[in-house]
């Protein structure tokens, strides 16, 4: 399988399936809006609370005008007490509404983010083996952490912020018009000009954000390569740790400069906006004493308060518009990844068929070639593996042994032909329902030996665990450990040797109890004598099971095994375990 991965990467380069510029992907805003439908009741309630808050917020300046011009000037203590009581109630109610909005918005936003995160994860799982071998895992990590993190606040607050700010702006404008249409017109025109200025800088920030994504993905990938066990060993054994550090430092400096440029972009526009909005109250005071002498003191104070109620929603709308433009790139990458998922993956298998034996495994005119390659690595292959037999697949590197193992296991689909499994007189097209693959570089979770074994199925007894370990000749080693089955294996099994990792993976596969077990160089790190013993254990484990071994070396054969030698020019030379058997070109 490692050969398969290396060849695919070599022919396609390091580019992932989504490495094209995100500017080529338009943001599907309708699809984004559709995600709010399951949460529409919560969204409507949040918007209702926002509107109530707007009403209470606009009422206070009007009450303040009445207090100054009537209750205070004309000395009406009863009216003053009533108006002050209403203002106090509005302040308290507004605070409670803010708490309610915060709870609703956070729950709403995080539900949407969670759903989006699960979609990206599911899309990554749905990608074919070919796609997974092309793109670095840091691309998906950047989507799950950076991009979804970047859109989190927009999904949480954007709708409510727009409605609140828009309603506040409209209500405050109407209230201001009743007192001075001249100051109102000046404030609205200024707001429009500020919006134009802000949009210009927002576009620049969005462009810088798109460039930043690629740099962060490269930084994550390089960090993972440097600090992983294999990367650390490579740097130390080659005396290239300084080069690794310099490479990471160069990328980090690039990210630093890009981040500074991104965060400073728009600061000039924000400074101009703050200066302009801060000058409006000064203009109102000057106008009230010169060109608009008819304004009362209460009206002037109420106008300045309402103007601040205009400036805040204007700033909020400008900031929300900027944030939305900033998240256009992340949204485009997220939806581009979801839409770009390769649907050629075989239908996922959720459970294995509970059968102990197969009639046969047949390859019928199977052809396969690597993506972007015109030469098939397997061409029109038609051959059958009888059920209950033991098959060894050998051949030179690069002739397609690992590819054949993936085809037989049902993990990749042939471009032409079918892989069929006969069981109890019926024929099935999904060999993945019956097969388990053990690769030479097994995947282990960062947990204990026991937890890695229990991945095989939902419930398994300790006796079954020890039986599987004994079959893989690993029981004595585990029993000698102070923590036994609870011994941690480390990240990717780093606390175990290569041979121990392979044997642990084999024991886990045995616990699945599949009728078809495919071992792709899964014992090449095991000493030859121990490998021979494991072969014998597997043969005795369940004679009716079909075993397929992909290997560069053959154990001692008993005479009833099948041996396929993949030929460089294509096809298969078929023999059995007898040394004098005649080879046949398939």
pLDDT tens digits, one per residue of 522-548: 888 888 889 999 999 998 887 888 999
Helix (H) / strand (E) element for 301: namely: helix 297-326
pTM above 0.85, yes or no: no
Name 103's Cβ contacts closer than 8 Å, sequence gap at least 6: none
In which band, very low, low, confident or very high, does the pLDDT at 58 lie, cut at 50, 70 and 90? Answer: confident
Q: Is residue 541 a contact partner of residue 388, using CB atoms and an 8 Å limit?
A: no
Q: What is the pLDDT of residue 69?
A: 79
Alpha helices in 327-474 (DSSP H): 328-339, 401-409, 449-454, 462-471
pLDDT tens digits, one per residue of 151-167: 777 767 777 777 778 87
Name 231's Cβ contacts closer than 8 Å, sequence gap at least 6: 224, 225, 244
Residues of the chain with CATH 1.20.1560.10: 2-14+28-339
Residues of the chain with CATH 3.40.50.300: 360-585
What is the C-alpha separation between 491 and 548, in angstroms, rounded? 29
What does the pLDDT average to over 216-244? 81
What does the pLDDT average to over 8-36? 52
In which band, very low, low, confident or very high, does the pLDDT at 477 lie, cut at 50, 70 and 90? Answer: very high
Q: What is the pLDDT of residue 468?
A: 94
**Burial call 209-236: b when 16+ CB within 10 Å, e when fewer:** bbebbbbbbbbbbbbebbeeeebeeebe
* String of DSSP letters for 181-232: HHHHHHHHHHHHHHHHHHHHHHHHHHHHHHHHHHHHHHHHHHHHHHHSHHHH
pLDDT tens digits, one per residue of 164-186: 788 778 887 888 888 888 877 88
CATH 1.20.1560.10 is the classification of domain 2-14+28-339: yes
* String of DSSP letters for 446-514: SSBHHHHHHTTSS---HHHHHHHHHHTT-HHHHHTSTTGGG-B--GGGTTS-HHHHHHHHHHHHHHH--
CATH assignment of 360-585, among 3.30.460.80, 3.30.750.24, 3.40.50.300, 1.10.3720.10: 3.40.50.300
Helix (H) / strand (E) element for 326: namely: helix 297-326
How many Å is the Cα radius of gyration of the chain? 34
pLDDT tens digits, one per residue of 322-360: 777 777 778 878 887 887 765 555 556 656 777 878 888
Query: Would strands 390-395 and 546-550 be described as parallel, antiparallel, or unpaired?
Result: parallel
Mean pLDDT of the chain: 79
Q: Which of 136, 133, 139 is nearest to 11 (CA)?
A: 133
**Cα 247 versus chain centre, distance:** 26
pLDDT tens digits, one per residue of 281-326: 787 778 777 777 777 777 777 777 777 667 677 777 777 777 777 7
Q: Which of 554, 529, 549, 552 is nearest to 389 (CA)?
A: 549
Report CA-CA distances (Å) from 144 to 15, 27, 107, 124, 455: 19, 18, 19, 11, 25
Query: Which of these ranges, 258-262, 502-506, 515-519, has the smallest mean pLDDT?
Result: 258-262
pLDDT tens digits, one per residue of 483-506: 999 999 988 888 899 999 999 999
What is the C-alpha separation between 473 and 481, in angstroms, rounded? 15
From first CA to last CA, the distance across the chain in angstroms is: 23
Q: What is the pLDDT of residue 192?
A: 72
């Amino acid at each position: 399988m490692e050969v398969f991965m290396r060849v695919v990467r070599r022919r396609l380069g390091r580019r992932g399936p989504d490495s094209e510029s995100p500017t080529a992907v338009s943001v599907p805003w309708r699809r984004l809006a559709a995600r709010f439908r399951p949460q529409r009741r919560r969204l409507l309630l949040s918007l209702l609370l926002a509107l109530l808050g707007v009403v209470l917020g606009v009422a206070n300046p009007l009450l303040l005008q009445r207090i100054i011009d009537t209750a205070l000037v004309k000395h009406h203590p009863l009216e003053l007490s009533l108006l002050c009581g209403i203002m106090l109630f509005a302040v308290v109610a507004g605070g409670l509404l803010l708490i309610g909005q915060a709870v609703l918005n956070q729950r709403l936003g995080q539900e949407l983010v969670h759903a989006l995160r699960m979609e990206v994860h599911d899309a990554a799982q749905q990608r074919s083996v070919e796609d997974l071998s092309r793109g670095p895992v840091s691309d998906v990590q950047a989507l799950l952490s950076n991009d979804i993190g970047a859109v989190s606040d927009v999904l949480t607050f954007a709708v409510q912020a727009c409605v609140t700010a828009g309603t506040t702006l409209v209500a405050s404008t109407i209230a201001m018009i009743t007192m001075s249409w001249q100051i109102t017109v000046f404030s609205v025109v200024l707001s429009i000009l500020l919006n134009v200025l802000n949009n210009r800088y927002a576009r620049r920030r969005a462009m810088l954000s798109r460039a930043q994504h690629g740099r962060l993905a490269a930084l994550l990938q390089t960090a993972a390569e440097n600090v992983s066990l294999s990367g650390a060993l490579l740097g130390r054994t080659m005396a290239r740790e300084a080069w690794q550090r310099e490479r990471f430092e160069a990328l980090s400096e690039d990210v630093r400069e890009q981040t500074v440029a991104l965060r400073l972009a728009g600061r000039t526009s924000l400074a101009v906006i703050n200066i302009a909005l801060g000058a409006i109250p000064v203009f109102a005071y000057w106008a009230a004493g010169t060109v608009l002498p008819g304004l009362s003191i209460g009206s002037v104070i109420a106008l300045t308060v309402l103007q601040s109620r205009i400036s805040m929603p204007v700033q909020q709308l400008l900031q929300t518009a900027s944030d939305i433009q900033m998240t256009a790139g992340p949204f485009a990458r997220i939806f581009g990844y979801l839409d770009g998922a390769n649907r050629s993956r075989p239908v996922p298998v959720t459970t294995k068929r509970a059968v102990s034996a197969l009639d046969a495994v047949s390859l019928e005119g199977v052809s396969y070639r690597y993506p972007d390659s015109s030469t098939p690595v397997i061409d029109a292959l038609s051959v059958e593996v009888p059920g209950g037999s033991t098959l060894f697949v050998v051949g030179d590197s690069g002739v397609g042994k690992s590819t054949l193992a993936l085809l037989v296991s049902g993990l990749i689909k042939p471009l032409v032909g079918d892989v069929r499994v006969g069981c109890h007189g019926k024929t099935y097209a999904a060999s993945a329902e019956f097969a388990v693959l053990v690769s030479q570089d097994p995947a282990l979770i960062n947990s204990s030996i026991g937890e890695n074994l229990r991945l095989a199925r939902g419930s398994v007894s300790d006796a079954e665990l020890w039986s599987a370990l004994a079959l893989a000749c690993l029981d004595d080693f585990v029993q000698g450990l102070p923590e036994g089955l609870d011994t941690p294996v480390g990240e990717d099994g780093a606390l175990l040797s290569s041979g121990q990792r392979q044997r642990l993976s084999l024991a886990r596969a045995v616990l699945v109890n599949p009728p078809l077990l495919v071992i792709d160089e899964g014992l090449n790190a095991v000493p030859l004598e121990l490998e021979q013993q494991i072969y014998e254990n597997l043969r005795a484990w369940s004679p009716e099971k079909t075993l397929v071994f992909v290997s560069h070396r053959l154990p001692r054969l008993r005479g009833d095994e099948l041996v396929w030698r993949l030929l460089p020019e294509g096809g298969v030379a078929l023999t059995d375990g007898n040394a004098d058997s005649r080879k046949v070109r398939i």
